[in-house]
Amino acid sequence: MKKRLILFFISLMFIPHIIYSWDSTAAKFYPLAVGNLWSYNYKSYQNPLGCSIAANQYNYIVRITLDTLMPNGKRYYKLTGGGTYYHRIDSASMNVYQFGQGNSECLVDSLLARMNNSYITCNNFPRSVVDTNLVLFAGQMRRTKQIAVFAGNRRLMEGMGLYNDYYCELGSGYNKTLNGCIINGIQYGEILGVEPISNEIPADFKLEQNYPNPFNPTTKIRFSVPLYKGGERGIHAKLSVFDILGREIQILVNEALKPGKYEIEWDASAYSSGIYFYRFLTNEFSEIKKMILIK
């Protein structure tokens, strides 16, 4: 019996450190799992006087679509929406890494970082934790971690992931804030952004005439995204509104979309009567249509 116990304890010494190093509390600040989804409100700024008035504002959705093995031999989660990224959490350090060019990876966040801890991320700028306050979200006070970055800050929320990302330098920047999310099948907050209105897979790209037209003050725009020729189920698409002078005044969609038929509403309450144009743009397709606002 004593010999068995000795062998048992010796075997424990050779169990990989990964079993003991995973910090489930820290991991909740960056919940990576296929099917998880986040809806963000995005505001862009272009004002030399400061980042106070948004030049553009829209909602978009980020979703995890895949858990895949990358060429460097490590597994990453694929995030699509506003771009495509591959992230993973290292089980020993609890660092969040992003897969990049040359089969390399760089640091995105350090989930074990505490107050006043600093670390260097992908862009070679230092980040440091500056507060760990509670924030009200989806009817509940939740623990957060605010991280100071170059010319801005980002806030991670326990159980939710990235809650806010803000950047402003010389009046140019953005502010991204969480509307809502679906984590492990449970919805928190509002899911705003564009989602398919049909499971039908269109044969081609298509931009339809808005309806009603003329309108006051809201109108709906439908468009279709086919199966991407490269084989991926999704393609980056942008739907923008322009004034009569050709200036882009609002971005309605700017994200990677899976195949399907979509509908989005444009609220023109802040704009005057007149002729406007909307453009649907991808790498392979571009079309512009005219609409009339009458107040």
Whether residues 30 and 140 fall in one domain:
yes
Residue 229's pLDDT is what?
Answer: 56
State the pLDDT at residue 235. 80
Structure confidence at residue 99 (pLDDT): 95
Domain-terminating residue out of 144, 166, 189? 189
- Rounded to the nearest 5 degrees, what angle is found at the Cα of 188, between the Cα atoms of 92 and 199? 100
For residue 198, what pLDDT is reported?
83
For the range 82-89, what are the long-range contacts, defined as Cβ-Cβ under 8 Å and sequence gap of 24 or more? 82/40, 82/42, 82/254, 82/255, 82/256, 83/236, 83/256, 84/236, 84/256, 87/30, 87/32, 88/32, 89/27, 89/30, 89/32
Residues 230 and 248 in one domain: yes
pLDDT score of 18: 39
Which domain, by its residues, includes 223? 196-293
Same domain, 185 and 208: no
CATH number for the domain spanning 149: value is 2.40.360
CATH number of domain containing 229:
2.60.40.1930
Give me the pLDDT at residue 196, please.
Answer: 84
What pLDDT was estimated at residue 234? Answer: 64
Is residue 171 domain-resident? yes
195 DSSP 8-state letter: -
The total of structural domains in the chain comes to 2
Same domain, 210 and 260: yes
In a domain? residue 3: no
Q: Please tell me whether the overall predicted TM-score, pTM, comes out greater than 0.75 for this model.
A: no
Whether residue 154 is found in the same domain as residue 176: yes
Residue 104 belongs to some domain of the structure: yes
258 and 165 co-located in one domain: no
**Block mean pLDDT (10 aa), the chain, length 295:** 45 40 92 95 85 82 92 94 88 95 91 92 88 96 95 96 94 93 94 83 94 96 82 74 94 84 90 97 94 96
pLDDT at site 165: 96
Nearest residue to 59 (alpha-carbon basis) of 194, 196, 188: 194
